[in-house]
A and B are shown apart, each in its own frame.
Chain A
Amino acid sequence: MRSLGKYLIFIYNLFVRRETFRTYVKLSFDEAIKVGYDSLFIVLIVSVFLGAVTTIQTAYNLISPLIPDPVISLVVRDMTILELSPTIIAIVYAGKVGSNIAGELGTMRITEQIDALEVMGINAISYLVLPKIIASVLMFPLLVILSGFCAIYSGFLTSLVTGVISGEDYLTGIQLDFNEFGVVFAMIKALVYGYLVATISAYKGFYTSGGALEVGQSSTNAVTSSCIAILVADYSLAYMLAPFLTPS
């Protein structure tokens, strides 16, 4: 409870006593490139495998003369868009970007770089953290979109290579009963996760105290806490938004 309060004060401090708008635009831009570039590779790999594995496993689960083949790719599509791409990728993203943010800020804290900023009269929280949050909230949805495409395309390639369903059926299936709200839903999730990972990791890193050992701990804590927050948010969002998914 104490740390929740401290977290909220931390968030509040992001938005007071700020530097010029131009400073933030530049910093956020730099951060966005870093965040995107850093996680691109791992996100692509994970997405390709998610798509492939989901296709194969769904195909084996749905072997039945009663179920037409295109349903397989329909299931792959919906799982990818609604859950796999946003949530699994968010967990990967927490491991990559979250630990990075916490490690960087933790090191800056223990080597007095944050103190140096404060002494110059700069609000270190907003100067260091706000650009990371802006970058994360902008870039993570893009990564999720990319991941969705990759996963679904990789499913298609898998069906061609393994022949668990025919390519034509796959393409028919992913266009069947498409509900655009699924994409909106995925983007809402992505925004929330991007925000959670950045703020929680920054919070953990910013309040590191001690030495190199504690920086490592902050990084690990950042990933653990981000993952828990992601899963809780996933459940809450599913509870709140899933009713909109059913065709009216």
Chain B
Amino acid sequence: MIEIQNISKSFDGKQVLFEISGIFEKGKCNLIIGTSGTGKSVLLKCMVALLPPDVGNVLYDNRDFTHGDKQLQTDVRREIGMLFQGGALFDSKSVEENVMFPLDILTEMPSDEKLDRVNFCLERVGLENINKKMPSEISGGMKKRVGIARAMVNNPNYLFCDEPNSGLDPQTAIRIDSLIKEITDEYKITTVVVTHDMNSVLEIGDHILYIFEGRKLWEGDNKHIMESGVKELDDFVFANRMMRMVKDRSA
């Protein structure tokens, strides 16, 4: 479980996040949704302390991560798997080395076991036979998926994904969503996913935080998102035609 308390963040006097609180439970897919530029990525980075929040705390299973000492931060981080919005693969390493990297650094596994684990993860994201390719030789969507494989390879307790399925075709996107859901259920981890894809919201949104211009406007699950009564959220949810049709039908 991850708890965030009163997170505020500003850059050069421009406030981006306003007192956001929330609880992300274990074994659930927790979604942070919102339009582009509302501060979702910044919130995620504050949660893993890549950006220090101006005020507020982040607790990982009651460990005060934001104000803990360096050792505690390192310990918590070694339990984190994270997918960045752009993939953030190491360009000087091959796909296989990228995925293996967390195992190399954080574990004492023998190398054949590591290789098995890497292949297993790559298979789960639907990528086989590209082990030796360099990141510059694969497509954007493939980079994302390698990023997911790298995030899950070391069995993290906390999984963060920044837009795991943007830039993917609908089929692969659904496949990635269900993968995230599966590993969350299977290993009972705490998963936090940033997305603006309504499909994912409906598919995997066990718990949803809606952020609008740096403020949390709504919190709930995918069963209730259509009847939130929050205007901004309705605009977001029913932005596309398909969703509007669904709404008209049910009315």
Q: Which residues of A contact B (CB under 8 A)?
A: 16-17, 19, 23, 107-108, 111-113, 115-116, 118-122
CB <8 Å contact, A115 and B84: yes
- Please give 7 more A-B residue pairs, beta carbons under 8 A apart, in addition to A107-B91, A118-B77, A122-B105: A108-B91, A112-B85, A115-B45, A116-B84, A120-B101, A120-B105, A121-B75
Number of B residues near A (Cβ < 8 Å) is: 23
Report A-chain residues with C-beta under 8 Å of the C-beta of B89: 113
Q: Whole-angstrom distance from the CB of A83 to the nearest CB of chain B?
A: 36
B75 touches A113 (CB 8 A): no
| B74:A17 contact, CB within 8 angstroms | yes
Chain A residue at smallest Cβ distance from B93: A113
B84 touches A120 (CB 8 A): no
Does B120 sit at the interface, judged by CB under 8 A?
no
**A241: min CB distance to chain B, Å:** 39
* Given A23-B105, A120-B105, A120-B106: A115 in contact with B74 (beta carbons within 8 A): no
B70-86 toward A: CB 8 Å interface, digit per residue (1/0)?
Answer: 10011111101010111
Asked if B105 contacts A112 (CB within 8 A), the reply is: no
- Which residues from chain A contact B18 at a C-beta distance below 8 Å? none
Looking at the complex, which one of B74, B85, B101 makes contact with A121 (CB distance below 8 Å)? B74
B246 surroundings in chain A (CB, below 8 A): none
Check B77 against A111 for contact (C-beta < 8 Å).
no
CA distance A111 to B92 in the complex (A): 13
Tell me, rounded to whole Å, the shortest Cβ–Cβ distance linking A56 to chain B.
44
Q: Can you give 10 contacting A-B residue pairs, CB < 8 Å?
A: A16-B70, A112-B84, A113-B88, A113-B90, A115-B84, A115-B88, A119-B77, A120-B78, A121-B73, A121-B78
- Is the C-beta of B168 less than 8 angstroms from some C-beta in chain A? no
| Complex interface bits, B57-81 against A, C-beta within 8 A gives 1, otherwise 0 | 0000000000000100111111010
